Amino acid sequence: MLVFKFGGASVKDAPGIINLTKVVQKYADQQLLIVVSAMGKTTNALEKLTDAYVNQIDDVHQIYNDIKAYHYHILDELFEPTHQVFNDIENTFVEIDWMIEDEPHDDYDFIYDQIVSIGELVSTRIVTAYLNKEGINSKWLDVRGYIHTDNTYREGVVDWPKTREHIEQDIPAMLENSMVVTQGFLGGTSENFTTTLGREGSDYTAAIFAACLNAASVTTWKDVPGILNADPKYFTDTVKFDQLSYTEAIEMTYYGAGVIHPKTIKPLQNAKIPLLVKPFTDPDAMGTVISEIGLQHYAKPVIILKQDQVMVSISAKDYTFITEDHLSAVFSLFAASHVKINMMQVSALSFTVCFDYRAERFNHLLEQLKQSFNVKYNNDLTIITVRHYKQDELKALIGDRKILLEQLSRNTAQMVVK
């Protein structure tokens, strides 16, 4: 039994869905569960729609109509006008219609999940309909009835026992008769509200299903040849890794490597299920295999950039030393604000942290911190992380940028730069 995950780039248009079908046809003799992300940049567009709705900006309906038009254009290229999928998509979009006709009253993160989740629900409807149209017997599955989470919207925490019970109960029988297509990134609460698992969470979805079904492997299909040592958008001399260990992959995702969601590796490592990262434009290529076996020597360092960072320095108002009691209070505020720290450093009088900038969470955290501490911050920063580094390579990489914070360990160098 295999699990495939197709990201937004692989289903961004009609040719992408046709290519997905050709890839899947190569595995027609296998039991296959397919996890699909929202199409193209739909998640970004739905985030923009969420902001416009919450802030009651005039262009809410224009943004929404553009999103719908994008999907209907793909439908027009794939199906006859009378196909049932048009009704299915219209009924799915109705959930947004109902929400944006009223003024926003709920928490931002709750609204975000109810709107943004429509991207995956629509994309999987289209993919399932096209697979069936091409003679590949496929069943659409609403993931919200199988991946169960708590009520932490935008960062849903998976209830593993309940999730495993429902997946093991239903999915094996479904796979005996058809391929199963479901949504990445989404979960459901006990009150039947939609949650999301964090941006780029479709990889994590695939790992959850694989671990619960004891899959032979997970393959995530990307627009790159495999896992590279650096992002090709910023570096021209990248190299592909043929294999990586679970440990190295966890380190890379922890520091911000965007090719895999950070939570993906652990359930696969526990179940000893290999993760294959392969190019959807060349399905026969080897890609990268992540398993217990890794590289012993790295010819090039792994370079990871995390942009749009904010650095906050916190000190006691009476200028006493930063103690464990101070740190405990600070960490509690970060946890309550759902802010994850990417880098931190303690000095005698201050505690400095870096994290992803999200306006609503940052503003809430800042308000809470200022009640007990002096706070200074810088934004529009970048964290550069280099694994398996050499000193001369670090100097060339930084260039003339200003270093605001730096940490070096045996294998990893991190620098916050402006």
Mean pLDDT score of the chain, rounded to an integer?
95
pLDDT in tens, 283-329: 999 999 999 988 878 889 999 999 999 999 999 999 899 999 999 99
The predicted pLDDT at position 199 comes to: 83
- Rounded to the nearest 10 degrees, what angle do helices 108-116 and 42-54 cross at? 140
Domain ends where: 269, 291, 313? 291
Whole-prediction pTM: 0.90
The predicted pLDDT at position 85 comes to: 98
Are 275 and 341 members of one domain? no
Are 88 and 132 members of one domain? yes
The predicted pLDDT at position 412 comes to: 95
Are 311 and 271 members of one domain? no
- For the stretch 143-179, what's the b/e string if a residue is b when 16 or more beta carbons lie within 10 angstroms of its beta carbon? bbebbbbeebbbbbebbeeebbebbeeebeeebeebb
pLDDT in tens, 199-214: 888 999 999 999 999 9
Domain ends where: 231, 258, 291? 291
pLDDT-wise least confident of 73-82, 211-220, 221-230: 221-230
Are 256 and 383 members of one domain? no
CATH value at residue 384:
3.30.2130.10
Are 307 and 285 members of one domain? no
Q: DSSP of 270-286, one letter per residue?
A: HHT--EEEEETT-TTS-
The predicted pLDDT at position 1 comes to: 97
The predicted pLDDT at position 105 comes to: 85
**284 occurs within a structural domain:** yes
pLDDT in tens, 344-398: 999 999 999 999 999 889 999 999 999 999 999 999 999 999 999 988 889 889 9
Are 326 and 256 members of one domain? no
For residue 285, give both structure tokens: 């290529």
User: How many Cα atoms sit within 13 Å of 223 on the Cβ side?
Assistant: 12
Are 342 and 215 members of one domain? no
pLDDT in tens, 38-47: 999 999 999 9
Cα distance between residue 259 and residue 262, in whole Å: 9
pLDDT in tens, 51-64: 999 999 889 999 99
Are 93 and 236 members of one domain? yes
What is the count of structural domains for the chain?
2
CATH value at residue 248:
3.40.1160.10
